[in-house]
Structure 1
């Protein structure tokens, strides 16, 4: 199984983002994945696109989950993608 390439859109001082990152790290122990953190404040385009949604988890430019991240549903989705 090759590792999934996850893009994790986040920003500083975001409790939901911190919780989501912890969930991703926990899932990384059982699902091979590379996590690329992207601060949305790096570009106006990202702020406009994700400003009200963060944290946002994407795989191959598809939004998998955003906002309140739920570990079990995220696990199921990632396992489905990684088949």
Structure 2
């Protein structure tokens, strides 16, 4: 998956970096969790609902099947990434995720 190219602009005498805006259908939400985790089940419900509403894609990854994910996130699950960047962990705020995906 290609990365977003940065755009620089001047504002108030300082340079700001921002990324190109993506449409929700171009976004990918990744839910990282494990089986038997009630917080992961709750997070999945929110991710499924919001992604269906805005048209974003989502995927689920199991830390028990991926050593790298386990090392990185085992104390934080469930973890939600948006386009590969950590968005939240433990509890997913529906409105915050919706705003993030809307750009």
Would you call these one fold, judging by a TM-score over 0.5? yes
- The TM-score normalised by the length of structure 1 is 0.85
Q: Which residue of 2 aligns with 1:73?
A: 96
- Output aligned runs, 1:27-46, within 5 Å: 27-46=50-69
**Higher-Rg member (1/2):** 2
Q: Which has the higher contact order (CA 8 A, sep 6+)?
A: 1
Tell me which protein shows more helix as a share of its residues.
1
Q: Structure 2-normalised TM-score?
A: 0.70
Say how many residue pairs are matched.
80
Q: Structure 1 stretches of 5 or more lacking a match?
A: none
Structure with more of its chain in strand, by fraction: 2
Off by >6 Å, runs of 4+ in structure 1: none
* RMSD, aligned α-carbons: 1.3
Structure 2 residue runs of 5 or longer lacking an equivalent are 1-22
**Residue-by-residue CA offset, 1:28-78 (whole Å, 9 max, x unaligned):** 232111111100111222111000111111122200111111111121122
1:1-36 deviation line (CA, Å, top 9, x unaligned) = 434211111100011110110001111232111111
User: Which SS does the other structure have where 2:77 is aligned?
Assistant: coil
Alignment check: 8 A CA contact 2:32 2:63 kept? yes
The correspondence of residues 1-83 of structure 1 with structure 2, limited to 5 A, is 1=23, 2-80=25-103
